[in-house]
């Protein structure tokens, strides 16, 4: 698992590596774009191929977890998948849904670029943490303390998650505190790629988190795989050294798990919620595991094929945006900032304003997209996504302003959290955790991602500033006097 070695080459040499890789990436994508001209959607396919080297050039940061690049790239996947689906079906996007779907694709591409440029502008060019600090901090961590820290934070996280949904006034705060266990997981995986004695612990935790994720109501298993992929991206300064079997294994594992999940999701959710049509798990962990064991043993090729098709359909997320373009402003006027105002007002604590209305994604989707979406009464929630909501508020071209601002927020947050305390590696764990929790999905509503990002920012900055040094002293078995010498 370990292949990391510290490299102290000048920053100019690192930039040269990035430029060389970018050139190769451009050549590959240009070839793919040329091939894309032969598909039913030639312009969309070609443009979808050419966006990747742009994102890489903007957001790849040698030696750092590519959390910003991952967030922008995953959203780009969600934009390009409908084009892939249409090509596989031998259809144009217009035939698939109407001309609005094609327009949604182009606006989606421009939105991802606006987001990425905002991230790039705010995070800057200089490294957020030195390579020497990375290596020194990682070498100080103690195996036994990290193992104990994971067990303790896992128990606390589970307790807080239960309390969160029983106390609506404190749900977001408790969930933010519950997510702190991912800082410990980050540190374990970080060292797992660098030190063989941490590798087994990393593997055990990855498997355990996948199991826990599979037995929840949502597809929580993907978060640990996302984290491993992002942390892996920081294990070498050269991109070509990252192109190893581990990446392919992780991506295949994610694809298989996601395909299986889509195959059984409907029946599984009905089983765990006891037919109550709520987003809750009312059976034991053993019962959930037993359900998955039986389902995995009995699943057939047709069900897996249907699951894969459902995965592609679910992963691509332009239909509601296209419906919004069809509806606004033809049937419903632009909202002139109302939706983003609601996102900002969502920061008002429910503890102080208990009458604050509960936000319903599906209600907003039904109103502005013209597409009927199942709501909370059916145990689900369907959103338009922050890009579509920006369009509803401001139309073209002003919709790109809040998206660019959101990118600036994520880029600034990444740099700020990394350096908010006295331990940059601990801050880097916090920044990566926040981004993977809040900034990854194209379908996320602005009412959820912005308030969640702000609350996570406040919680993590407070924890890192007030307790970061003591946490690190405990994790490294250092005395305070010894720490101050360094």
Q: Each residue of 436-462: pLDDT tens digit?
A: 999 999 999 999 999 999 999 999 999
Q: pTM value? A: 0.92
- How far is Cα of residue 306 from the mean position of the Cα atoms in its chain? 25
Report angle CA 342, 181, 292 to the nearest 5 degrees.
90
Given a cut of 50, whether residue 486 has pLDDT beyond it is no
Q: What percent of the chain stands above pLDDT 90?
A: 67
Q: Is the model's pLDDT at 57 over the cut of 80?
A: yes
Distance CA 71, CA 175 (A): 21
Distance of CA 333 to the CA centre of its chain: 32
Q: Are 410 and 168 in contact (CB under 8 A)?
A: no
* Domain chopping of the chain, boundaries: 9-122
Which tops the pLDDT comparison, 313 or 386?
386
At 3 the pLDDT is 44
Examine residue 397 and say whether the peptide bond preceding it is cis (omega within 30 degrees of 0): yes
C-alpha to C-alpha distance for 175 and 321, rounded to whole angstroms:
29
Per the prediction, the chain carries an average pLDDT of: 89
The pLDDT assigned to 223 comes to 94
Residue range 256-300, pLDDT digits in tens: 999 999 999 889 988 988 877 777 888 888 999 999 999 999 999
Q: Hunting for tokens 């979406």 — which residue is that?
A: 373
CB 36 within 8 A of CB 46: yes
CA dist 355 and 358 (Å) reads: 9
Residue 156: is its pLDDT beyond 50?
Answer: yes
pLDDT of the residue at 435: 98
CA–CA distance, 480 with 473 (Å, rounded to integer): 7
For 382-407, what is each residue's pLDDT tens digit? 899 999 999 999 999 999 999 999 99
């Amino acid at each position: 698992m370990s292949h990391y070695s510290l490299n102290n080459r000048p920053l100019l040499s690192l930039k040269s590596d990035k430029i060389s890789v970018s050139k190769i990436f451009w050549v590959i994508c240009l070839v793919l774009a040329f091939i894309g001209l032969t598909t039913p959607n030639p312009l969309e396919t070609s443009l979808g191929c050419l966006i990747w080297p742009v994102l890489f050039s903007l957001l790849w940061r040698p030696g750092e977890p590519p959390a910003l690049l991952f967030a922008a790239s995953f959203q780009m996947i969600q934009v390009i998948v409908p084009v892939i689906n249409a090509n596989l079906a031998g259809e144009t996007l217009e035939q698939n849904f109407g001309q609005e779907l094609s327009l949604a694709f182009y606006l989606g591409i421009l939105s991802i670029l606006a987001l990425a440029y905002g991230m790039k502008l705010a995070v800057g060019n200089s490294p957020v943490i030195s390579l020497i600090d990375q290596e020194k901090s990682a070498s100080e961590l103690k195996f036994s303390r990290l193992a104990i820290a994971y067990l303790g934070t896992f128990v606390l996280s589970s307790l807080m998650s239960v309390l969160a949904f029983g106390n609506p006034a404190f749900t977001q705060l408790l969930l933010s505190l519950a997510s702190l266990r991912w800082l410990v997981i980050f540190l374990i995986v970080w060292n797992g790629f660098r030190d063989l004695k941490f590798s087994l612990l990393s593997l055990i935790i990855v498997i355990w988190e996948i199991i826990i994720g599979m037995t929840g109501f949502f597809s929580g298993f993907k978060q640990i795989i996302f984290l491993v992929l992002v942390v892996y991206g920081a294990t070498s300064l050269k991109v070509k050294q990252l192109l190893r079997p581990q990446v392919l294994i992780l991506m295949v594992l994610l694809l298989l798990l996601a395909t299986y999940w889509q195959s059984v999701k409907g029946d599984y959710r009905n089983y765990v919620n006891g037919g109550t049509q709520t987003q809750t798990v009312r059976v034991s962990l053993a019962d959930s595991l037993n359900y998955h064991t039986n389902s995995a043993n009995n699943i057939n090729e047709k069900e897996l094929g249907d699951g894969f098709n459902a995965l592609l359909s679910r992963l691509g997320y332009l239909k509601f945006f296209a419906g919004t373009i069809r509806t606004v402003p033809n049937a419903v006027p632009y909202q002139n900032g109302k939706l983003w105002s609601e996102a900002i007002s969502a920061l008002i604590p429910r503890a102080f304003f208990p009458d604050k209305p509960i936000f319903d994604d599906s209600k907003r989707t039904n109103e502005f997209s013209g597409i009927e979406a199942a709501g909370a009464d059916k145990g689900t929630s369907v959103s338009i996504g922050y890009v579509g909501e920006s369009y509803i508020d401001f139309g073209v071209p002003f919709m790109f302003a809040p998206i660019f601002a959101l990118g600036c927020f994520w880029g600034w947050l990444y740099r700020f959290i990394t350096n908010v305390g006295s331990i940059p590696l601990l801050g880097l764990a916090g920044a990566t955790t926040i981004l993977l929790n809040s900034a990854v999905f194209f379908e996320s509503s602005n009412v959820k991602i912005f308030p969640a990002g702000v609350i996570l920012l406040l919680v993590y900055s407070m924890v890192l500033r007030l307790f970061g040094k003591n946490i690190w002293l405990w994790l490294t078995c250092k005395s305070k006097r010894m720490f101050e010498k360094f």
